[in-house]
Structures are given as structure tokens and as C-alpha cells.
Structure 1
Amino acid sequence: MFRRAFWFTAGAAAGVWATTKVNRQLKKLTPESLAAQAADKAVEAGHRLKDFALDVKAGMTQREDELNDALGLHQDPDRLDNVTALPGPRRLRAIENSKTTYRPKFSYDRNEDH
């Protein structure tokens, strides 16, 4: 008799446990729950993207400082007296040296062949 009572109780407990697990899973699959999960994932992705953008910006600033140190550009861009220290406009040598214009040896007209 004790053996039957034990297995009856074990079966009832397993049934309650299984029913609870199934009900929890069904609640997770309702449209409201799925929408909330998607919203949480989107917010989490937004935070990760924001952190990535801040890391990129910090890296860019660090690299810009390294390049300015390497090139000797330690001037404050907000001061007006730095404008006179800028080099003048450059001219391309190809434009300066091209006194002759290019003329092809043979004229080509697409409509000539027809």
C-alpha cells in the first residue's frame, strides 16, 4: 500500500511540475510577451550601438591627437591669429605645365561608320 501511495504522489507531483512548465512556456509565447521581448532586445541593441559609437569617437579623438603631435599641429583652431599661419593654396603642377592642349591624331565620330 505504501508503494502505491508513493508512486501516486510522485506521478501527481510530476504532473503539476509539467503543467507549470507548459503554462510558463505558453505565457512566454503570447503576442504581448513576444512584443515585450522584442522591445527589450531593441533597447539592448541600442545601448550596445551607443557604446560602440562612443568607443569609436574616443578612438578617433586619440588618433587625431597622435597625428597632430606627429605633424606638430598644436595650435588652437579657435584663435583667429592662427589663420595667418596656414599655408597658401596649392596649385597643381599638371595644370601649370600644360601649355598645350591634347588633340587626338584621328578624329572619331560614332556616326561616321553608319
Structure 2
Amino acid sequence: MKRLFWFAVGVGAAAFVVVKGKELYQRYTPKGIAEQVEKTRSEVGSWIGDFLSTMGEAMDSREDELREALGLEE
């Protein structure tokens, strides 16, 4: 029974290593690297868009506060 248990553990470990090894191999092929670069580029583009949008809203809000504090009309 012990042998069967350890055999099953070995088969499971080998399957895990093969699957993860294949994923790692595909990740570092030229196609995989190109996909990673594209994913990172799109994430950075999204982050920059969010940042600029938030910054614009904050600037408008602060301008309104200053105008109100100084008694200026638009």
C-alpha cells in the first residue's frame, strides 16, 4: 500500500512538473514574450489613462474650490 501511495505521489509530482514546465517554456518563446509585452503595454496604457482622468478631475475640483474661496465667478 505504501508503494502505491508513493507511486501516485510521484506520478502527480511528475505531471505537475511537466505542466508547469510547459507553461514556463511557452512563456519564454518569442511568441510568449511578445504576448507578455503586449499585455504589459495595454496595462500601462490603461493605467496612464486612469491617472490622467483622475488628475483632470482633481484639478477641476481644486479649481472650483479656489474660485469659491476667492469669490471669483467663471
The alignment's TM-score, normalised by the length of structure 1, stands at 0.54
Match of 1:45 in 2: 44
Deviation at 1:3? Answer: 5.0
Query: In the TM superposition, what is the alpha-carbon distance from 1:26 to its structure 2 partner?
Result: 0.6
Alignment of 1:1-114 (within 5 A): 4=3, 6=4, 7-75=6-74
* C-alpha distance in 1 between matches for 2:28 and 2:53: 36
Question: Structure 2: which 5+ residue stretches go unaligned?
Answer: none
Question: How many Å apart are 1:8 and its aligned residue?
Answer: 4.1
Secondary structure of 1:74 counterpart = coil
Query: 1:61 and 1:53 mapped to 2: Cα distance?
Result: 12
Q: Higher relative contact order by CA 8 Å / sep ≥ 6: 1 or 2?
A: 2
Q: Which runs of 5+ in 1 are unaligned?
A: 76-114
1:20: how far off?
2.1
Letter of the aligned partner of 2:27 in structure 1? K
What amino acid does structure 1 have at the position aligned with 2:35?
A
Task: Report the identity percentage.
Answer: 33
Superposition deviation, residue 19 in structure 1:
1.9
Counterparts of 1:12 and 1:74, CA distance in 2:
76
**Which residue of 2 is the match for residue 103 of structure 1?**
none
Q: Which has the larger radius of gyration?
A: 1
